[in-house]
C-alpha cells in the first residue's frame, strides 16, 4: 500500500498487489543464485565492460530463478534496490516475450515502489530543510542542502527512468489485446512514475512529464471502464492515483473530486459483484477514496470561505 503521496496534504495513493502476495520462503538452494545476481547487479549499476559477458553466463539462472530470488531478498529485508534491479535485469536478459505472472508483477511493482518511495520521502524532508535554511541566509548551509537535494533528485529520476524503460520496452509492449488487467496495471504504473518525476521537476521538463503521466492514466482509465468491474481493485487503485494526480500535480481539485466520487459511487452500486479474493483490497481503496474526498471537499470549503471574507 502506498500512502501519503502528498504527506503534507494527506492524500492517499495505492500500489496494486502488495497485500495479496504469499509468504512462502524459498529453500537454501537459491543462495548461490543470489550471490551471482548480486555481482551482476553491481556490474549493471556501474555499467561495467563485463556486462554482456555476465548476462550470457547468468541467463539460465535469471530466467529460472527470478521469482524465488526476489522472494529470498524480500524476506531478508533492506534489499529493495537489489530485488528491483535483479528483476529488471531478468527481464532484460531473457527479452521476456511472455507476460509476468501476477506474483512476479506484484513483486516488481512493490520492490520499485519501496525503492522510489525512500527517495521521495528523502526529497520532501530535504526540500523542507532547504526552505528553512534559505530563510536563515547561511550560504554555506544553503549550498550543502541544495547539493544533497539534487543528488536525491538524480537518484529518484534514475529509478523512475528504469521503471519507465521496462514498462515501454517489455511489459506494456508484450501485453496482448485481451490482457486488459495487465495493460491497466502497467499503464497505471507508468502514470505513477511520471507523476513521481513531476514532483521534483520544474519548467518545461515538468510540463513534459505531467503530460506523459496524464496520457498514461487516461488510457488506463478508458480501458478499465470498458473491461473491468467498478469494484476491481486495479480499477479502483487507478482511480485513486489518477485523482491524486489531478489534485496534487495539476492543482485541479474539482476534477480530482469528480473522478474519486464517480469511482466510489460506481463501486458502491455494484458491491454485490465484489470478488471474495479481492474484498480486502477493494474496500481498503474505497475507504482511501472516501478519505481523500472528505479532505479535498473540506479544503475547497476553507478556500471558498477565505475568498468570501476578502
Render pLDDT for 247-264 as a digit per residue (tens, 0 to 9): 999 999 999 999 999 999
Q: Residue 250 corresponds to which cell in the numbers above?
A: 495539476
Average pLDDT over residues 280-307: 85
Cα–Cα distances in angstroms (integers) from residue 299 to residues 237, 240, 263, 306, in the given order? 23, 18, 20, 11
Average pLDDT over residues 26-49: 41
Q: How many CB atoms lie within 10 A of CB 169?
A: 14
pLDDT value of residue 90: 53
Whether residue 5 is predicted with pLDDT greater than 60 in this model: the reply is no
Contact 213, 198 (CB under 8 A): yes
Whether residue 72 is predicted with pLDDT greater than 50 in this model: the reply is no
**Mean confidence (pLDDT) of the chain:** 76
Burial call 252-281: b when 16+ CB within 10 Å, e when fewer: ebeebbebbbebbebbeeeeeebeeebeeb
Q: Residue 13 corresponds to which cell in the numbers above?
A: 495513493
Q: Which among 87, 232, 102 is positioned nearest to 163, based on CA atoms?
A: 87
Q: What is the pLDDT confidence band of residue 271, given thresholds at 50, 70 and 90? A: confident
pLDDT digits (tens, 9 = 90+) for 170-202: 889 888 888 999 999 999 999 999 999 999 999
Residues 6+ apart with CB under 8 A from 170: 91, 92, 95, 96
Q: For the domain bounded by 28-298, which CATH number is listed?
A: 1.20.190.20
Query: What does pTM read for this prediction?
Result: 0.75
pLDDT value of residue 290: 96
Q: Which among 281, 196, 201, 208 is positioned nearest to 241, based on CA atoms?
A: 196
Average pLDDT over residues 1-27: 40
Domain borders along the chain are: 28-298
Whether residue 208 is predicted with pLDDT greater than 50 in this model: the reply is yes
Amino acid at each position: 500500500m502506498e500512502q501519503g503521496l502528498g504527506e503534507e496534504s494527506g492524500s492517499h495513493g495505492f500500489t496494486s498487489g502488495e497485500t495479496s502476495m504469499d509468504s512462502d520462503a524459498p529453500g537454501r538452494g537459491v543462495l548461490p543464485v543470489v550471490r551471482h545476481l548480486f555481482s551482476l547487479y553491481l556490474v549493471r549499476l556501474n555499467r561495467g565492460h563485463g556486462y554482456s559477458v555476465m548476462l550470457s553466463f547468468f541467463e539460465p539462472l535469471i530466467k529460472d530463478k527470478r521469482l524465488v530470488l526476489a522472494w529470498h531478498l524480500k524476506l531478508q529485508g533492506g534489499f529493495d534496490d537489489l530485488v528491483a534491479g535483479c528483476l529488471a535485469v531478468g527481464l532484460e536478459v531473457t527479452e521476456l516475450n511472455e507476460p509476468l505472472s501476477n506474483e512476479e508483477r506484484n513483486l516488481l511493482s512493490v520492490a520499485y515502489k519501496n525503492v522510489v518511495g525512500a527517495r521521495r520521502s528523502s526529497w520532501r524532508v530535504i526540500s523542507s530543510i532547504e526552505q528553512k535554511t534559505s530563510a536563515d541566509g547561511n550560504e554555506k548551509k544553503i549550498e550543502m542542502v541544495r547539493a544533497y537535494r539534487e543528488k536525491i533528485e538524480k537518484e529518484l529520476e534514475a529509478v523512475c527512468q528504469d521503471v519507465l524503460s521496462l514498462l515501454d520496452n517489455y511489459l506494456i509492449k508484450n501485453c496482448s489485446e485481451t490482457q486488459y488487467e495487465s495493460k491497466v496495471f502497467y499503464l497505471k504504473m507508468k502514470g505513477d512514475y511520471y507523476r513521481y518525476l513531476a514532483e521534483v521537476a520544474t519548467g518545461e521538463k515538468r510540463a513534459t512529464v505531467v503530460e506523459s503521466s496524464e496520457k498514461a492514466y487516461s488510457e488506463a482509465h478508458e480501458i478499465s471502464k470498458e473491461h473491468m468491474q467498478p469494484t476491481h481493485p486495479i480499477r479502483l487503485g487507478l482511480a485513486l492515483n489518477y485523482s491524486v494526480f489531478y489534485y496534487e500535480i495539476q492543482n485541479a481539485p474539482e476534477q480530482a473530486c469528480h473522478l474519486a466520487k464517480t469511482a466510489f459511487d460506481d463501486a458502491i452500486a455494484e458491491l454485490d459483484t465484489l470478488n471474495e479474493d479481492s474484498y480486502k483490497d477493494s474496500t481498503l481503496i474505497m475507504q482511501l477514496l472516501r478519505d481523500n474526498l472528505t479532505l479535498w471537499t473540506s479544503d475547497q470549503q476553507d478556500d471558498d470561505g477565505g475568498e468570501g471574507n476578502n
